Chains A and B, each alone.
Chain A
Amino acid sequence: GAGVSQSPRYKVAKRGQDVALRCDPISGHVSLFWYQQALGQGPEFLTYFQNEAQLDKSGLPSDRFFAERPEGSVSTLKIQRTQQEDSAVYLCASSFGGLVDTQYFGPGTRLTVL
């Protein structure tokens, strides 16, 4: 079946622009996660949804970052007034949501802020 998809795959933004990154999880997956992967590092947790409820946003680096999942399926990560330090790969993952579930990752969106 279809995996997690993300769009766009690549995004170049000028400093100060707003960007929106989309994630389509695996159908039927309750849980959805966003991670940020800086160059040469492992992914770092940003935020977590269970259905449409954002249950954990402790990893969002600033109030410029905002995520939503209004209908409990597709999610959008929005970054306002982008800065150069926002350049990274943004990964989305989804899972069924049980205690012993596995997160399945999308290919990521590479964001470059000039």
Chain B
Amino acid sequence: AQSVTQPDIHITVSEGASLELRCNYSYGATPYLFWYVQSPGQGLQLLLKYFSGDTLVQGIKGFEAEFKRSQSSFNLRKPSVHWSDAAEYFCAGREPDGNKLVFGAGTILRVKS
């Protein structure tokens, strides 16, 4: 069965420091991959997506993610975190010919000043 794993439940980083959130997937074929962010009381906002092609994907708010087939990973990165980045981040996958998203359990990011 398809699955998406986010190994870190909580991560704390200092403001201005770099960030990497981990995501691993298990699919028969290479899935489409997404990162969403959810702030308290808000819906899920799409940060970036990977369908095919260039394995380094740029998103909104200065985020990027790199697809690594050999490691079945799609880690999210940001070079310098801002206090407003504190939120919960979800990685999700979808089969190329499917429709439903399969989400990881989420990583809660805390930013300390």
Residues of A within 8 A of B (CB): 3-4, 31, 33, 35, 40-45, 48, 55-56, 59, 91, 93, 99-100, 102-108
Contacts and interface: CB of A to CB of B under 8 A. Distances in A.
Interface in B62-113: 90, 92, 96-97, 99-106
Contacts of B4: 42
Contact of B42 (A33, A35, A104, A107): A107
A41 B36 CA distance: 14
Interface footprint category on B = 20 to 34
A41 B105 contact: yes
Contacts of A40: 105-106
A80 B5 CA distance: 32
B103 A59 contact: no
B100 A43 contact: no
Given A99-B97, A100-B32, A43 B43 contact: no
Interface of B: 4, 32, 34, 36, 41-46, 49, 51, 90, 92, 96-97, 99-106
A102 B49 contact: yes
B101 A103 contact: yes
A42 B103 contact: yes
B106 A107 contact: no
A107 B100 contact: no
Contacts of A41: 105-106
Contacts of A3: 43
Contacts of A105: 36, 43-45
5 contacts: A41-B106, A42-B104, A48-B99, A91-B43, A91-B44
Given A104-B46, A106-B43, A99 B101 contact: no
Contact of A43 (B32, B42, B101): B101
B90 A45 contact: no
Given A31-B99, A56-B100, A102 B46 contact: yes
Nearest to A107: B43
Given A91-B43, A104-B46, A33 B100 contact: yes
A99 B96 contact: yes
A44 B103 contact: yes
